[in-house]
Amino acid sequence: MKLFIRKKEGELKDMKIIVAKDYEEMSKKAADFVAAQIILKPDSVLGLPTGSTPVGMYRELVKRYQAGDIDFSNVVTFNLDEYCGLDAENPQSYHYFMMENLFAHINVPKQNIHIPSGSALDIQKECDQYEQKIKDAGGIDLQVLGIGRNGHIGFNEPATYFEAKTHMGQLDEDTIRANARFFNSIEEVPKKAISMGIRAIMQARKILLLANGEEKAEAIYKTVQGAIVPQVPASILQLHPDVVIILDEKAADKLSL
Ligand code: GLP
């Protein structure tokens, strides 16, 4: 495992980049990071992602909870996103994913868990309330992120501007193709989702971005070394003062470190 500090010019803060040898090592390092956050601040507000990338990290966190190393009883969580039109019992929903991969196995109180509802009748109201709940909780202490092949974070897809608030957005064609692997057919992939906006993500006190595999190498390159543009939503992380990126070697392949 290697640590690189990417020096930024002028006002931009340095980015810390950890390159792990493989997915296992990336997941353990990420779990170390989240565990340290909870140990240092037991009532931490965590922003959490879904997708294949964080599965290993969640597995590690469950192990550490079972070993008595971390206690989630005062932790508050906000998930990044949810598909529209899928209710919490749908196995393809992010509610279901979070239950299966983390919440059912740890002691975080049910009332401390927040995930946008994709089946809300009034989506705008759902988005506004989600935004307010994040504020009421005092903002996010640690935001964990995955990244899409097109550079999306949460479901903030490439666009002509950065969408600040929690909102409903259209999924990008590439995202629909990438996520079709979780569904029986591509037609079943919802075309819309609710996503935490860029503002709540950027207001998180710390950000931990994870990526593995060669299909993420281009997005990581653009995020770290490219221009800060809404066509690559993750590139805005260059402006955040405290970002740690943990990659496996394949996802780091295009970086000049
Ligand atoms: C999904 C989620 C993102 C996630 C990304 C990558 O569509 N909305 O939050 O980070 O795509 O997913 P994966 O980790 O499966 O590659």
169 Cβ closer than 6 Å to some ligand 1 atom? no
Mean pLDDT of 19-31: 98
pLDDT band at residue 256, thresholds of 50, 70 and 90?
Answer: confident
Mean pLDDT of 122-135: 97
pLDDT band at residue 257, thresholds of 50, 70 and 90?
Answer: confident
CA 256 to CA 7: how far, in whole Å?
A: 12
Mean pLDDT of 236-255: 96
Pick the residue whose CA is nearest to atom 1 on ligand 1: 51
Mean pLDDT of 21-36: 98
Q: Give the DSSP letter string of the chain.
A: -EEEEE---TTPPPEEEEEESSHHHHHHHHHHHHHHHHHH-TT-EEEE--SSTTHHHHHHHHHHHHTTS---TT-EEEESEEETT--TTSTTSHHHHHHHHTGGGS---GGGEE---TT-SSHHHHHHHHHHHHHHTTS-SEEEE---TTS-BTTB-S-SS---S-EEEEPPHHHHHHHGGGSSSGGGS-SEEEE--HHHHHHSSEEEEEE-SGGGHHHHHHHHHS---TTSGGGGGGG-SSEEEEEETTTTTT---
146 Cβ closer than 6 Å to some ligand 1 atom? yes
Q: Tell me, what's the pLDDT at 80?
A: 98
33 Cβ closer than 6 Å to some ligand 1 atom? no
- Please state whether the predicted TM-score (pTM) of the whole model is above 0.85: yes
Catalytic (active site) residue 157: yes
Q: Which of 3-12, 30-39, 81-90 has the lowest mean pLDDT?
A: 3-12
Q: Tell me, what's the pLDDT at 3?
A: 84
Q: Tell me, what's the pLDDT at 227?
A: 94
CA of 146 to the centre of ligand 1 (A): 6
Specify the CATH class of 21-235 in words: alpha beta
Mean pLDDT of 88-104: 96
User: What is the token pair recorded at 210?
Assistant: 């994870």
Please pick, among 25, 126, 141, 157, the residue that the annotation labels catalytic. Answer: 157
Domain residue ranges of the chain, discontinuous segments joined by +: 21-235
Phi-psi group of 162: left, alpha or beta (phi > 0 → left; psi -120 to 50 → alpha; rest → beta): beta
Q: Is the distance from CB of 137 to CB of 203 less than 8 angstroms?
A: no
171 Cβ closer than 6 Å to some ligand 1 atom? no
pLDDT tens digits for range 39-82: 999 999 999 999 999 999 999 999 999 999 999 999 999 999 99
